[in-house]
Structure 1
């Protein structure tokens, strides 16, 4: 007998595999019958769950999975995978802003290094256009912190690295200029930002062509895959 999914799992309509909700993204129909990504999984009505990666969303659209699952006519917008990436990016940017307002995000090399050295860091955020030497210095500090934690017996300690937005995008999200390095510190708002960043990173790489389409539509290019 097949195992029943738990309340924290859903079935990917493309692969038919049951996965944790954190590894899926939900799609719903707008009132005019256009398919839209429900990135927060809170929209009313019947939804379709797809694995959280651009290739799966593209394949689901190509195979008409959404119409079959919803059992109705569906208008699938061109570039659905890119639109989904845009929505995920917007949610991440907004969550960084919320973390900063909550006092759970610091910016600037000096403040970020203090957060790292004190151990009060939930995740390191680096602009995609950061200079290699600056990036390497921050990563060296994080590795030293992680090594010290393991020496103290905390083998599971790690600091995620989110390299998802350019300095301009970070600046726009945070209302600052020239944001290269930032650190999420402890707290609920920072944790929410980390989770949204990890979802965006998990979703996968975007091509230059898709970045150009979204730049044309939104005025802000979306990030490339984390390095």
Structure 2
């Protein structure tokens, strides 16, 4: 058996096998409480579930955890939402680590400058930022890509977090736009974001793309390059 196959786990609901990264492990605490083991490090017998909120909810409904763990467990009806919060916190902690490693710049101007230098692996856009700010960033990304002759698709855009969450993770205020440089810390953060987005049944950039019905690319709605950013974006993200 290949090493990859040997490390796969079977979902207690769907019975499908997948790599641990695509699943969530649950354990029974000593007091009988069902506990999500987001990083798969807790001791004891584990129950593996496909990392999707609807599958976790189905496991609760079918009492699949008790059967797999061979013991009665106490599980809150809010378990799917609790797991979402844990996955989100894991992402933001990883972002904070990337920031400490010097892999993050914040502010519209600094992000545009990084794009022009081609030193961006991913762009962060606060999901509560303005559509105008997303348009401006899309234009900057396209201009930078054209200058480097690499086409329009230049980076991955993450729009899973609001401005306050980005503030706390990055240790500054009013963060609307940020960029991450290539490297290990960024890849670790992106992997966690993909996991969170998959759990929610969306893509990491879905929020940014769905705010407006106009023609879009991965950076959100597109408009003419002469448009100005909304005042609140200039004020909040300088």
**Equivalent position of 1:53 in the other structure:** 52
SS in 2 for 1:182: strand
Say if 1:48 and 1:144 are closer, same or farther in 2 by CA, change over 3 A. Answer: farther
Deviations 1:141-170 (A, max 9, x none): 335556677x55x99x75221111111111
Select which of 191, 195, 198 maps to 2:194: 198
**Equivalent position of 1:25 in the other structure:** 24
**Equivalent position of 2:120 in the other structure:** 121
Stretches of structure 1 that go unaligned for 5 or more consecutive residues are: 207-222
**Equivalent position of 1:170 in the other structure:** 166
Stretches of structure 2 that go unaligned for 5 or more consecutive residues are: 209-238
**Equivalent position of 2:232 in the other structure:** none
* In the alignment, structure 1 residue 66 sits paired with structure 2 residue 65: yes
Deviation at 1:22, TM superposition (A): 2.4
Equivalents in 2 of 1:10, 1:103: separation in Å?
Answer: 35
**Equivalent position of 1:41 in the other structure:** 40
**Equivalent position of 1:181 in the other structure:** 177
* In the alignment, structure 1 residue 10 sits paired with structure 2 residue 6: no
CA contact (8 A) 1:205 1:225 kept: no
Of 157-166 and 131-140, the range deviating more from structure 2: 157-166
Equivalents in 1 of 2:189, 2:98: separation in Å?
Answer: 7
SS in 1 for 2:12: coil
Larger radius of gyration: 2
**Equivalent position of 2:221 in the other structure:** none
Say if 1:79 and 1:42 are closer, same or farther in 2 by CA, change over 3 A. Answer: same
Deviation at 1:135, TM superposition (A): 1.0
Say if 1:84 and 1:135 are closer, same or farther in 2 by CA, change over 3 A. Answer: same
Return the TM-score normalized by structure 1: 0.81
Equivalents in 2 of 1:68, 1:147: separation in Å?
Answer: 56
SS in 1 for 2:165: helix
Equivalents in 2 of 1:224, 1:48: separation in Å?
Answer: 30
Q: How many positions carry a matched residue from both structures?
A: 206
After the TM superposition, list the runs of 4 or more consecutive aligned residues in structure 1 that deviate by more than 4 angstroms: 143-149
Deviation at 1:42, TM superposition (A): 1.6
CA contact (8 A) 1:125 1:163 kept: yes
Equivalents in 1 of 2:138, 2:205: separation in Å?
Answer: 19
Query: Alignment RMSD, CA only?
Result: 2.7
Return the TM-score normalized by structure 2: 0.78
Equivalents in 1 of 2:145, 2:199: separation in Å?
Answer: 26
Deviations 1:53-111 (A, max 9, x none): 11111111111111111111111122000000000011111111111110011100111
**Equivalent position of 2:97 in the other structure:** 98
**Equivalent position of 1:226 in the other structure:** 207
CA contact (8 A) 2:157 2:205 kept: no
